[in-house]
Amino acid sequence: MGGKIGVMVEVNCETDFVAKTDDFQTMARDIAMHIAASNPLYVRPEEIPEAALEREKEIYRSQLREEKKPEKIWDKIIDGKLKKYYEDVCLTEQKFIKDTEITVGTLVSNMIAKTGENIILRRFARFQLGEDIKQ
């Protein structure tokens, strides 16, 4: 990304043998590039703080009130909106930038099936030059 974004991603597997394969390293590099391009906030939906989820739900409720939607269908609409929110902010739920037919979570699942070994996306850090500089 023009030398302005850096990403570190922790992808764990059970053996060094798998970790040293070209396929595993390519997957990890591709995930890092995906993070640089898409800027997710969390690895998976379970990591979203409850307060953040409640804020989102309140925004959705407010929108539904303004649109005068019947309250009895709010829960279904909110569930759909939350699913879209997860796709925007959670790495495992995002469409993979190199193949938008699959998610990043599916990419990892495919590697698990290929290697027969458990692989876990643990965490990531994304740094952008000039980010959070207050003037």
Q: Which CATH number characterizes residue 109's domain?
A: 3.30.479.20
- Phi then psi for residue 128, to 5 deg, are -125, 130
From the list 3, 48, 38, 11, the residue with the least C-alpha distance to 124 is: 11
Q: Are residues 74 and 55 in the same domain?
A: yes
Q: Are residues 22 and 58 in the same domain?
A: no
Q: What is the pLDDT of residues 20-33, one digit of tens each?
A: 999 999 999 999 99
| Measured distance CA(117)–CA(120) in Å, rounded | 10
Q: Are residues 99 and 40 in the same domain?
A: yes
E-assigned strands of the chain?
A: 5-13, 95-96, 99-103, 119-128
Contacts of 72 (CB under 8 A, 6+ apart): none
| Measured distance CA(85)–CA(45) in Å, rounded | 9
Q: Are residues 36 and 8 in the same domain?
A: yes
- Residue 56 and residue 82 in contact, taking contact as beta carbons nearer than 8 Å: yes
- The domain tally of the chain equals 2
Q: Are residues 39 and 102 in the same domain?
A: yes
Q: Are residues 2 and 21 in the same domain?
A: yes
Q: Are residues 61 and 126 in the same domain?
A: no
Q: What is the pLDDT of residues 31-66, one digit of tens each?
A: 999 999 999 999 999 999 999 999 999 999 999 999
Q: What is the pTM of this model?
A: 0.86
Residue numbers of the domain that contains 128 = 1-44+94-135
Please tell me the predicted confidence (pLDDT) of residue 65.
93
Q: Are residues 99 and 134 in the same domain?
A: yes
Q: Are residues 10 and 24 in the same domain?
A: yes
